[in-house]
Amino acid sequence: MSSKDLSIIIVDDLQFSRIVVKTALKKAGYSGVRMADCATEALLMMSQQPADVVLADWMMPEMDGLELTHRIRQADEEKGTYTAIILFTAHDGIEYLVKAFDNGVDDYLCKPPNPQELAARVHAAARVAALQNDLLETSRHMEKTIQNLKKMALVDELTGGGNQQFLLQNLNTHLLEASTRRGGVCLIMVELRELEDITATHGEFIANEIIISQHRRLRRAVRPTDVVARLDNNIFGIIMQHTKVKDYKPAAIERILNVINNRAYKTTAGNITITGNIGVHYYRGDELMISTEDIFKLAIGKLEQARYDTSLSIAY
């Protein structure tokens, strides 16, 4: 994407700060720059025309940069898009950097930003947004492929994703390939702790809204080539295959838990906060071949361990 095609929104309650940033970007060749004096105005602008990159001040009245980030991420989730977000702040320190990233921010700059660094960071953020949107488009194409599998009874009707049979068929294929090529297969079981209570309180319709959102979040949290399937009312299975055993990283599992825990689920009954349990079993292709049924039981066993041990969220 060229700088001429890039859509940027600057959000700052100080007019001087907005103008300084816009001037620096224009000198760097970015022409599609809009300015908003508050987060509410920025969200309105985005509803009228999406932005590739949002540059926002952390500290603003009414709605700060972190809350704006949450609102943008929620809108992205609903629309199936991705917006890169850079926050400006006068704060300096690793704790603020960590807090920003934990809340979904893509990059972080201290005020006042250096013009050359600003242009470079915007360019990098635009590439991240383009990559993420390409991956989402790939996922949409994959979802269309899954729709074509309905005749084979491999699709979960509620989410439109794969069902347990779909997971088991793919699991068997991945295990055989890992055993042959000495790669690895990670089987992950995910459930929502409070879904039964939510169903009892709000009804099945609201629970189904959450399940559908859960499928979307999980699909976005993993690679396009990973398999995500719904096993029953409250359990999802994920298959991650690695061509090399060393490519397996527990951080990928933690990222899945974060997408469940860090943002409330938007429903017609309001925003509902939920926490997740995860059970994981990893098969190394250099081990004795394991059956599909055995790895499935082992992963379910780990999920039960995480479910009943309140000190755990993930059981490996």
**Average pLDDT, rounded, for the chain:** 91
pLDDT at 211 over 70: yes
pLDDT at 156 over 60: yes
CA 314 – CA 311 distance, rounded (Å): 9
142 or 11, higher pLDDT: 11
Domain boundaries of the chain, sorted by first residue: 8-137, 151-315
CATH topology of domain 8-137: Rossmann fold (3.40.50)
- What predicted TM-score, i.e. pTM, was given to this entire model? 0.58
pLDDT in tens, 88-102: 988 777 887 888 888
Residue 150 pLDDT class (50, 70, 90 cuts): low
CA 239 – CA 143 distance, rounded (Å): 16
Residue 1 pLDDT class (50, 70, 90 cuts): low
pLDDT in tens, 107-130: 989 888 898 999 999 999 999 999
pLDDT at 2 over 70: no
Whole-angstrom CA distances from 163 to 37, 157, 169 are 47, 9, 10
232 or 260, higher pLDDT: 260
Percent of residues, the chain, with pLDDT higher than 90: 67
Query: What pLDDT, on the 0 to 100 scale, is given for residue 151?
Result: 59
Across the range 32-61, mean pLDDT stands at 94
Across the range 158-164, mean pLDDT stands at 92
Query: What pLDDT, on the 0 to 100 scale, is given for residue 232?
Result: 83
pLDDT at 62 over 90: no
CA 285 – CA 244 distance, rounded (Å): 9
Q: From 3.40.50.300, 3.30.70.270, 3.90.1300.10, 3.40.50.1100, which CATH number describes the 151-315 domain?
A: 3.30.70.270
Preceding omega of 61 cis (within 30 degrees of 0): no
pLDDT in tens, 45-58: 999 999 999 999 99
